[in-house]
Every structure is written in C-alpha cells, then in structure tokens.
Amino acid sequence: MAEKKCSCGCCCNSGKTKEYNVSGDEKQCTLADLPVGTKATIVKIMPQARGSKKFADVGIVPGSELLIEAHAPFGGLIRVKVMETSMAIHKDEAANIVMEEDSNIITEKDKD
Amino acid sequence: MKNSYRIALAGNPNCGKTTIFNALTGARQHVGNYPGVTVESKSGKFVLNGAEIELIDLPGVYSLSSSSPEEEVVFDELTKPGIDLIINVVDSTIPQRSLYLTTQLAELHIPMLLAFNMADDAEKKGLKYDFAKLEKYFGSPIVQTVGCKSSGVQNLLKRLASTLEELDDHGVPMLTYGADIDDAIKAVSDKIDELNLDICKFIPSRFYAIKLLEHDSSAMKIKALEPVQEEVTCQIKHLLDKHAIKAETFMADCRYAMLAGACRDTISRTGEKRREISDKIDMVMTNKFLGFPLFLLIMYVTFWFTFTCADPLMGYIEEFFGWLGELVKGVWAEEKLPYLRSMVTDGIIGGVGGVIVFLPNILFLFFAIAILEESGYMSRAAFVMDGIMRKFGLQGKSFVPLVLGFGCTVPAIMATRTIESQRDRTVTIMVLPLMSCGARLPIYALIIPAFFAEKYQAFTMWGIYVIGIVIALIAARIMKATLFKGDGEVYLMELPPYRMPTFQSLMLHMWDRGKMYLQKAGTIILATSIILYICNTFPQKKTFEKDYGKLIEQVQNGKSLTDAQIKILEDGKIISGEVLASARESKALPQEFLDGLAENKVKLTPEQQSVIDAAQTLNDDVAALENEQAAEEMEYTISGRIGKVLEPIFRPLGFDWKIATATIGALAAKEVFVSQMGILYAEGEADEKSVTLREKLVKRYTPLQAFCVMLFCLLSIPCLATLAIIRRELNSWKMTFIEGAGLFLLAYIVTLVVYQVGTILKIGTNLIG
C-alpha cells in the first residue's frame, strides 16, 4: 500500500487539492476521506452525528481501530472492519467520525 | 425441575442463532408476527428430560438499546415476566463484539446459559478460551456449540438440562461501570425502588436505571417510571457537567472497556492473524470494478438455475391436474349436479391448478435466493447496488426484495422487513408490484408467440420486464422527492463472513416463503375461480336470436361429404379404421384429423385435396355458428354484462369487452387472465400453450392491442393477496387504497397513451391473421 501523507501527517488522500472536512482541527480527517486499506483510530464522533448510539453498539466508539476495506462501486457506502466485523456505513455519517491514522500499524501489517 | 420452561434465544445477527434454533426444534416451529411491528416472531417446542420447553427465537440484535424495531421487540420480550432462562448465542470467533450484548443481558438478572457457537471456526482461528474464568465473570454456565453439526447441539442439550436443574441458585453478577456512573445508577435505582413497581419484581431496578440514563426510548416509554425522570435528567446533567461524560454513548464505552479487560484475562490467541478466506473472496466480490459485473453474473445464474430446474417439474404438475380433471369427470356422471361438476373440474381444478403449476418456479427461485442470503452474498449485493439504488430514492437493502418480486410479490413484500428505514421500506413496497411477477408470465407466454415474429419474441419479453423496472425506478424517485422527503434512518449493515449454508436451513427458508404462495392458491385463487365460474355461466340464455341448432343442421345437410368423396380418401389410404367409420356415419371429418394432416404435411392429390377442403369448410362453418352461439351465451352472463358496461372505459385502451372482463378478473390474480380468455373464446381448457386460442386472438386483435394488454397487466396490481399483504405490512388501509388505485391509474394512463399514439402512428395496427 503506497503511503501518501499530507503535510499535517494525517491520512488525507493526497495528490489533488487537499480537503479538510473538520473545521478548526487540522490534524485529523474523517472516515469519509480515508483511502481503502488504511488503518485508523477513531478520535471522536462529532456531536451533530446522527445514530451515534447505534454506532456505539457495534463498536464504533472513540478509541476503536478501523480498517477501511472497500468503497462501494457506485459510491455512497464505505466498508470498514471494526472489532473483526465488516460494517457498511454511509459517507454522510462517516463524515462525522473523526479519525487519526496509525502509520506504524499500516507499515507493519502490509509487509506480509 | 418444573415440567415446562420458557427459554429465550438471544444473540447478535449472524451468530448462528437460527441454525441452533432449527436444530433444537426441527420443524416444530411457529412463525408469526409481533403485534404492531414488522418483526417476525418465531417459537418452537421440544421436550428435554420430560419437561416441555418453549423456545423463543428473538431477532438478532447488537444491543438492548431499542434503536431499531428488533431491539424494541427483544427489550419487551425479555422484560416481560415468564422467561426462565436466556440462551445467549455468542459467535466465538468474534468474542469481544458478541459479549457486548451479554453484558446487557446480564443486567436483566435472568439466569443465562452462554452458547459459544462456531467453536470449530474459533479453534481454526487460533482462539483459546479459559471457560472457567469466563463462567465466573458472567456467573453463567458456558457450553461450546457447533450449530451446523448435530453433535455440537448435543452438548448444548446436556448442559441445558443441568442448568435447568440448578436454576434457583444462579449468580449473574453485577458488572460495574466505574465509580461516577455507578453512583448515578445507584441514585436512580434507589428512586425506582421507592416506587415499589410491579415491573421490578422480575427485572432489577438497576437495569431500568441504566437504560434511563442511556436515554433508551423503550425504557422511557414505560409510564410507571415517569416519576424518576427528573432524577435521571439531573444525573445525566451532573455526569455531563462534572465529568464531561455523554451518558448515551459512554455506557457503550464502559462495556467495551469491561470486556476488553475480561477478554485479556480469558482469551488467548495463538498463531498469526491471517487474512481470512472470506476477506479474500470479498477482495473480488465487492471490488470497485469487478463487483458489479460479478453481481450481474450471479443474478443471471440464479434465474437460469430457477427456470432450468423448474421447467420439467412444471410439466408434471400440469399433466397431474389434467389427469385429475379427467378423473373427476370420469367418476362424476354428467347427469349428477352438472353445474357443480363443471365448476369443480373446469373452475376449481383448472384455476387452482393453473397457479400451482408455477410452484416449482417459485420454490426454486426462493431456494436460490436462500443460498445467496445464507451464504452472506446478499449483503454484498446490497453493498454493490446501494449507489445505483440511492439515485432512485431506494437503497441497497431494497434490492433483494425487488429481485424476489420477479418471483412473487407477496413474499417479496415480506422481505422488505430487513430495511430499517421506514421511509425507504414504504417506497420499496409501493413500487414492488411493478416488478413483473411470475403470475404475469402466462399472459406474456400466451400473447408474445402469437403476435410477434420469432426473432422479436425474446426482445419483447425482455422489454416488458425492463419497462416495469424503469417505471418502478422513476416512481420511486418521484415518491422520494414528494411524499417521502428528508433524511432516512442511519444506514448500518453488517457484511457477515461467507458461510456454507446448511441444507436444513435452506429448505426451511424456501418453505417459509413458498408456503405463502400456496396459501394464496388455496384461498384467493380458489375463491376467484369459483366467482368467475359463476359469472361466466349464469344467467343462462334459453332463447337465442337465431335457432343455432337448426342452422347447424342445415349446414351439415348441405355441405356434408358424399360417399364418393369419402371413397376417394379411403382409396388414397388417407383415412382408415375408426376415422373412416366415423366419417361414413357423420359425413364429416373430425377437426383433429384435419389438423393432423396439415401438421404432417401429407402429400395429397388434387382430388383428395378438394375433399379435404370441403371437409374443412364444413367444420369451419359449424364452428363459426357454435362460436356465435357461445358468444351470445357469454354476453348474456354476468361477466358479459359487466364487460359490456365497462367497454366504454376500456375502449380507448383498445380493449373490447372480452379483454375488459379478463382484465377485471385478473385484478384478483393475474393468472386468471389466460383462463378467462380461454373461457370467453370457448376454448375448453385453455392454458398458455393453447394454439387455437392464440389463433383466435390473432384473428381478433392487432399486435398493438396485444401489447397494450400486456402493458396493462404489468402495471396494475398483481393480485388481491398483494393488497392484503401491503395492508398488513404498512398497517394502513389508506396506503393500500392509494397503492391499488394508483397502480390502476398508472396502468390506465400509460396504456391509453401507448394505444392512442400507436394508433396515430400506425404501429402494429394491422391484423396478422
């Protein structure tokens, strides 16, 4: 997996114009921005997020680690692995989940 | 031991709970519905060491949070008195996630038995459990099971028996949430205790206190708990202010933390964490580029499988009903109750048989779909299709029901229950009848080969299906933009690992759905067959405008074959034996014989040909008179009268009164159309392969009219059973009425436009015959 990093050291999909969906906090980006194959940890869930309780019940809580497994062919859904289970969530909701990439993990795991 | 127990089976979705349920109860299941919500309730019975056990299969949930109808059902069911034991099925390959529900079940303080399912997979994955420690932690016995193998369930039964004996001294411990939260819980539960409520006799007040602090809607709905609401608000505010804790999700956090601790002590992983096979398959299946083509391929294979396998069986069933009809006719003398006799043979056996013929098709389709569902592919299909479906105001989960709709609309509507968002579900249900169901197939099969050249037949068939799909998608889009605006529910869908489905569960799944189709045949189709028979037969016309008997006699006398003519055929060895004998007696040749000659292209001399022609003219003239008489009789009946009244309404669509009555009959069930047309054209036992009915249609109607008939049948409501199920699933008479009337209007308008435009442009307006 190519490791591209933007200046902030986070995981934003670099290459084109950088986009930050998180206002006032430039060190992180949201689940909606992460490329496939990244492993990242949830930092916080924005207060305006809908369904936070539902997400909490499947393990999408601050501190848990996610693996971005796939993006749906026609957009919209993101497939993430959380606590060893694959879950599909919608981009709109993913945009309210603030993430921080753990770069150590990705290099270690992607060697094998 | 008592002599009867009520046991609830609880667990996450996809934890193998239903497999265990099936293995324990076998076919002794009762499938019903929880009142008011569209969640299936399943219960079954079995006997263990002499005690009768009622096992309730609760819907799979991640939590007891009432954030979905399923969770509400589980909440209600478990807080009701009378549950002696909860069997909590835990997917032991993913302990941390599965045990999350267990922590909440423990708070109910109902005795529990933990079934660590899929023990074989967990072992393969390198997971080792310290069960002694875990049993202590949850205060509940633990048993390892392998749901898909009967030996795995034996362990469960053994352990269940011993658990039931020691039911009284169970010790489910209190799990703590840390000092701050525990204080808040204590404060609220003390207040609840002061109220001295009935509900707290079975369930500790602490459970309700936790749920109230979590803002759980089910708990907040309980009237008796209202007095403590003030205290709850105060405690939530206190937690938020002093400790910056948002109670709603913080509880979840704490539970995960507790579990992490528990798992660290009790579970060890050996071997490296390799990528599972399931994930490898998904690299391809949900791939951005390959996902969609693969999906199309799988759908194609599904339909191919369905039709190829069902075809021979359909033939047998058709033969069986033909044989049955003849048998009844043979046993039942014609003089005895002649109307009842023909109603039973032509009306009921014909009508119900015509529907049951499609049972193999329906069953095979459901079998194929059960494979897709149980293997886990369906959720991948939903994932792949979500993007496209959303553009039309639907979503990925709408997709499966829409595919089922090609089989039969009734179970397809049942299948929309997986859609959590009520809005999306309603839209999906509303457009589902536009998916061309199996019952419409006979109509196309009758009309298309008659009116369209062979090279266009497949295309026309495909076109009809596509028209249905396109109109459904447009309708969904319009409904989403007008009636059902705004954001739907939060979307969350699990993609469970691929699993090999067990044969038993596939059969049960198939049967659950196929049963509905059979029920429809036994009730609605039976009733409409009888009603239509009566409408088509009564009142009987006694005096006719012409004396048909005399006219037929005149024709027969005037045009009958001479002995010389018969001799010509006899000499040419064209006729012999029985046919010859009957020809000599009746001075005519049977029509089947003439058809046979034409079909086999028997070479004839000019002389012989002229005799055959003469015989044919005679038969034609007699048949014309007989048909005229039948038509006059028909017009006199209730059907004919209704048709005549409706004719002005249907005329602009290109329908005459015969098609109008058949179409009205088809509103009850689409299968009726073909048999009704058959009766109207006095074609004894008509099925879709009836060539003579086709010939008659070709002589009477233009291809444009025929196309309009198919269009109308495609767009109007498939059957009354569909309306009944819509009423049940949407729980609204208003929506049901809107659906029925709306589809009728849609069908009317579209057909009207097509017919009128077609007529002006002169497309397909020439008679073929």
Q: Which of A58, A61, A83 sits opposite B492 (nearest CB)?
A: A58
What pLDDT, on the 0 to 100 scale, is given for residue B33? 61
Please give the order of strands across the beta sheet that includes B40-48: B29-33, B40-48, B51-57, B4-11, B85-91, B112-117, B142-144
Share of chain B above pLDDT 70, in %: 93
The predicted structure's pLDDT at residue B34: 63
Question: How many angstroms separate the CA of residue A64 from the nearest CA in chain B?
Answer: 10
State how far the Cα of B510 lies from the Cα of B360, in Å rounded to an integer: 11
Contact B490 A51 (CB under 8 A): yes
Q: Which residues contact B590 (CB under 8 A, 6 or more apart)?
A: B579, B582
Asked if residue B96 has pLDDT above 90, the reply is no
The whole-number pLDDT of residue B54 equals 92
Q: Do B387 and A50 touch (CB under 8 A)?
A: no
Contact B277, B132 (CB under 8 A): no
**Contact between chains at B487 and A62 (C-beta distance less than 8 A):** no
Q: Say which of A70, A74, A84 has its CB closest to residue B97.
A: A84
Q: What is the mean pLDDT of residues B511-522?
A: 76
Lowest-confidence range among A74-83, B76-85, B293-302, B681-690?
Answer: B681-690
pLDDT tier at A108 (50, 70, 90 boundaries)? very low
Q: How far is residue B533 from each of residues B299, B322, B637, B665, B717, measured CA to CA in Å? A: 40, 18, 10, 11, 22
Q: With CB atoms and an 8 Å threshold, state whether A57 touches B256.
A: no
pLDDT in tens, B432-484: 999 998 888 888 888 888 888 888 888 888 899 999 999 999 999 999 888 77
Q: Give the distance, in angstroms, between the CA of residue B111 and the centroid of all CA atoms in the same chain.
A: 38
pLDDT at B217 (0 to 100): 82
Q: Which of A62-71, A82-91, B151-160 has the lowest mean pLDDT?
A: B151-160
Q: Note the pLDDT of residue A17.
A: 52
pLDDT of residue B220: 84
The pLDDT, as a whole number, for residue B88 is: 93
Contact in structure between B145 and B116 (CB atoms under 8 Å) = yes
Q: How confident is the model at residue B727 (pLDDT cuts 50, 70, 90)?
A: confident
The whole-number average pLDDT for the span A61-72 is 88
More confident of the two residues B584 and B702: B702
Supply the pLDDT for residue B476. Answer: 92
For residue A81, report the phi and psi dihedrals to the nearest 5 degrees: -105, 120
pLDDT above 90 for B119 = no
* B496 interaction partners in chain A (CB closer than 8 Å): 85-86
Residue from B258, B492, B499 whose CB has the most chain A CBs within 10 Å, to mutate: B492
Instruction: Name the residue among B256, B279, B493 with its Cβ closest to that of A88.
Output: B493
In this structure, what are the phi and psi dihedrals at residue B767, rounded to the nearest 5 degrees?
A: -65, 140
Which range of A54-58, B143-147, B433-437, B618-622 scores highest in mean pLDDT? It is B433-437
Q: CB distance A57–B65 less than 8 Å?
A: yes
Mutate to test the interface with A, among B99, B103, B105, B286 (most CBs of A within 10 A): B286
Cβ(B221)–Cβ(A24) below 8 Å: no
Nearest chain A residue (CA) to B103: A57
Q: Quick check: B702 and B765 in contact, CB under 8 A? A: yes
For residue B287, the chain A residues in CB contact (below 8 A) are 70, 73
Q: How far is B249 from chain A (nearest CA, A)?
A: 6
* Amino acid identity, position B226: E
Cβ neighbours of residue B601 closer than 8 Å, sequence gap 6 or more: none
Pairwise CB contact (< 8 Å): B287 & A70 = yes
What DSSP element (H or E) covers B664? Answer: helix B657-668
Radius of gyration of chain B (CA): 34
Q: What does the H/E/C string look like for B290-319?
A: CHHHHHHHHHHHHHHHHHHHHHHHHHHHHH
Q: What pLDDT sits at residue B272?
A: 52
Q: Which residues of B touch A64 (CB under 8 A)?
A: 256
How far away is chain B from the Cα of A52, in angstroms, using its nearest Cα? 7
Decide if B489 and A51 are in contact by the 8 Å CB cutoff.
yes
pLDDT of amino acid B565? 79
Q: How far apart are CA B258 and CA B513, in angstroms?
A: 42
Tokens of B729: 């699933």
Q: How many CB atoms lie within 10 A of CB B264?
A: 9
Task: Please give the pLDDT value at position A13.
Answer: 44
Residues of A in contact with B383 (CB under 8 A): 70, 72, 77, 79, 88
**Each residue's pLDDT tens digit, B219-242:** 888 888 888 888 888 888 888 887
**Token code pair at residue B601:** 């292209």
Reported as a pLDDT band with limits 50, 70 and 90, residue B533 is confident
- Domain locations in chain A? 33-109
- A58: closest chain B residue by CA: B62
| Chain A residues closer than 8 Å to B249 by CB | 45, 52-53, 56, 61
Highest mean pLDDT among B145-154, B218-227, B702-711 belongs to: B702-711
B288 with A70: Cβ contact below 8 A: yes
Nearest residue in chain A measured CA to CA from B217 = A53
Q: Is the pLDDT of residue B25 over 90?
A: no
CA distance A61 to chain B (A): 7
Report how far residue A57's alpha carbon sits from residue B252's, in angstroms, rounded to the nearest whole number: 6
> What proportion of chain A, given as a percentage, has pLDDT over 90?
12
Lowest mean pLDDT, pick from A93-97, B11-15, B588-592, B614-618: B588-592
CA atoms of A82 and A91, how far apart (whole Å): 16
- Where residue B37 falls among pLDDT bands split at 50, 70, 90? low
Extended beta strands in B108-238, E state: 112-117, 127-129, 142-144
> Which of A53, A61, A93 comes nearest B491 by C-beta?
A93
Q: Do B94 and A57 touch (CB under 8 A)?
A: no
Question: What DSSP element (H or E) covers B395?
Answer: none
Cβ contacts of A71 on chain B, cutoff 8 Å: 288
- The winner for highest mean pLDDT among B8-12, B457-461, B631-635 is B8-12
CB B43 within 8 A of CB B57: yes
Tokens encoding B256: 């995960």
Find the range with the poorest average confidence among B7-16, B190-199, B580-589: B580-589
Q: Is the CB of A57 less than 8 angstroms away from the CB of B68?
A: no
Higher pLDDT, B39 or A103: B39
User: Which chain B positions have a beta carbon within 8 Å of A58's beta carbon?
Assistant: 62, 97, 492, 494
**For residue B194, what are its two tokens?**
């002061």
Over residues B665-669, the mean pLDDT reads 79
- The more confidently predicted of residues B106 and B593 is B106
> B118: left (phi > 0), else alpha (psi -120 to 50), else beta?
left
> Residue B564 above 50 pLDDT?
yes
Going by C-alpha positions, the residue among B715, B737, B729, B745 that lies closest to residue B431 is B715
Nearest to A89 among B288, B388, B491 (CB): B491
Cβ atoms of residues B494 and B14 within 8 Å: yes
**Banded pLDDT at B9 (limits 50, 70, 90):** very high
**Min Cα separation B389/chain A (Å):** 9
Q: Name chain A contacts of B490, Cβ cutoff 8 Å.
A: 50-51, 54-55, 90, 93
**How much is the average pLDDT of A71-94?**
89
**How far apart are the CA of A32 and the nearest CA of chain B, in angstroms?**
14
* Length of chain B in terms of residues written: 769
Encoding tokens for residue B683? 């074609």
CATH of the domain spanning B179-268: 1.10.287.1770
Q: Which of B62, B282, B396 sits opposite A77 (nearest CB)?
A: B396
**CB–CB of A88 and B390 under 8 A?**
no
Residues of A in contact with B253 (CB under 8 A): 56, 61-63
**ipTM passes above 0.90:** no
Superfamily (CATH) of domain B4-169: P-loop containing nucleotide triphosphate hydrolases (3.40.50.300)
What is the rounded average pLDDT of the residues B277-296? 84
Q: How far is B497 from chain A (nearest CA, A)?
A: 8
The whole-number pLDDT of residue B379 equals 87
From the list B256, B383, B496, which residue is nearest A72 (CB)? B383
Report the CATH number of the A33-109 domain: 2.30.30.90
Decide if B476 contacts B392 (C-beta within 8 A).
yes
Res A12 pLDDT > 50: no
How high is the mean pLDDT of chain B? 83
Least CB-CB distance to B490: which of A54, A70, A86?
A54
pLDDT at A4: 42
More confident residue, B380 or B240: B380
When CB atoms are compared, the residue of B94, B249, B489 closest to A53 is: B249
pLDDT of residue A105: 43
What is the predicted pLDDT for the residue at A106?
Answer: 42
Nearest to A57 among B62, B96, B286 (CB): B62
Maximum mean pLDDT: which of A47-56, A87-96, B60-69: A87-96
**Mutation choice for A interface testing from B383, B394, B498 by most A CBs within 10 A:** B383
Q: Which among A61, A62, A74 has CB closest to B388?
A: A74
Taking the CA of residue B19 and the nearest CA in chain A, the distance in Å comes to 20
For B721-739, give the DSSP string.
Answer: HHHHHHHHHHT-HHHHHHH
Q: Over range B86-110, report the average pLDDT.
A: 89
Cβ contact, residue pair B289, A73, below 8 Å: yes
Q: What is the mean pLDDT of residues B287-293?
A: 86
Residues of B with a Cβ under 8 Å from any A Cβ are 62-63, 65, 67-68, 93-94, 96-97, 100, 214-215, 248-249, 252-253, 256, 279, 282, 286-289, 291-292, 379, 382-388, 390-391, 396, 487, 489-496
Reply yes or no on whether the pLDDT at B640 is more than 80: yes
pLDDT of residue A23 exceeding 50, the answer is: no
> B97: which chain A residues are within 8 Å (Cβ-Cβ)?
58-59, 83-85
Alpha-carbon span B131 to A17, nearest angstrom: 53
